[in-house]
Amino acid sequence: MSHAQEYPENGPYKELYEDSDQVRFEASYSGGELNGDFRQYFPSGRLMAVGAYKNGKYHGTYKEYFESGSLRIEENYKDGALDGRSQEYFESEHLKSDERYRNDALDGTSTYYFDNGKVHYVSRYKMGDLDGESKEYDENGVLRSEITYKGDEINGAVKEFDEEGREKTISSYANGVKQGESRIFFDTGEVEWVLHFKDDLLEGVSKLYSKDGRLDKECTYTAGVEQSCKEHSSEAPRSAPADGKGQNSKEQMAN
């Protein structure tokens, strides 16, 4: 027959795994609430986590471990809310993420890593919202994208890069919507397309260029709908943007 768990008003407290003498959790109560240090264990008896309570809430440094014994998480709390530096690790012991919190919200620079130790993402937050420049890298350390945020929305330039770090596309955003000029580049660096947007739709004249800088084609759009196209070369033209959002055949432009 199972019995309801009894919690002391004051003093030490332990929980065991079911049908086992192995301790699962141990802590202390004071005034009917968890206060002071606590420990959690795996069924094997290995340490799972250590931390502290203050009036029933996490307070101070909390550490969590893989069963192998290597550190998995180290973070800081203030009256139950994440506050300060928070780090997570791969079981290989390489750093997986390094974040800053204020009153349970991401605040400051957050960095995320691949298991090989290379940086994957770097983002900046202001009280939980993306705010500032975010960068993404591949496993070789090559920059693959840059995005500027304000108030958790994309505002400013969005850039994409190829595996060699060369610029592929650049677009402008305002309040999360593509606005103004966007460019697509050949892998040799020359401009291939110059596109113009209004409220995420193609608007006005879009131009297609050859690698030698010659204007090949001009297409005019209104609210994403093609109105006309004019060829400037006898060569077979490359396809114009396939839809009113300006996606070319290689889907190079950022959404």
Model pLDDT, residue 4: 53
Give the model's pLDDT for residue 14.
96
Q: Are 62 and 53 in contact (CB under 8 A)?
A: no
Question: Residue 109 pLDDT more than 70?
Answer: yes
What are the beta bridge partners of residue 108? 125
75: containing domain = 1-92
pLDDT level of residue 6 (50, 70, 90 thresholds)? confident
Q: Which two tokens stand for residue 94?
A: 């390489």
Report, in angstroms and rounded to the nearest whole number, the Rg of the chain calculated over CA atoms: 27
Average pLDDT of the chain is 91
> Is residue 250 over pLDDT 70?
no
- The answer as to whether 190 is a domain residue is no
- Cross-strand pairs, 202: 197
- Mean pLDDT, range 202-209, rounded to an integer: 96
- Residue 75 falls inside a structural domain: yes
Q: Which residues pair with 13 in a beta bridge?
A: 27
Let me know if residue 237 belongs to a domain. no
In-domain check, residue 241: no
What per-residue confidence (pLDDT) applies to 251?
A: 40
- Residue 13 inside a domain? The answer is yes
Between 242 and 172, the higher pLDDT residue = 172
The pLDDT tens digits of the residues spanning 219-247 come to 999 999 999 999 986 444 444 454 555 45
**For residue 85, what pLDDT band results from cuts at 50, 70 and 90?**
very high
| pLDDT score at 232 | 86
pLDDT for residue 5 is more than 90: no
The predicted structure's pLDDT at residue 233: 61
131-169, pLDDT tens digit by residue?
999 999 999 999 999 999 999 999 999 999 999 999 999
12 within some domain: yes
Helices (H), the chain: none
Q: How many domains is the chain built from?
A: 1
Give the model's confidence band at 57: pLDDT under 50 very low, under 70 low, under 90 confident, else very high: very high
- Structure token pair of residue 54: 């203050």
Q: Give the C-alpha separation, 251 to 255, whole Å.
A: 9
Retrieve residue 57's tokens. Answer: 């809430």
Whole-angstrom distance, CA of residue 41 vs CA of residue 23: 7
Assess if residue 8 is contained within a domain.
yes
Can you give the CATH number for the domain in which 6 is found? 2.20.110
Structure tokens at 89: 């690790």
> What region, left, alpha or beta, does residue 152 occupy, with left being phi > 0 and alpha being psi -120 to 50 degrees?
left
For residue 2, being part of any structural domain is answered with yes
Strand partners, 95: 89
Tokens of 148: 């500027």
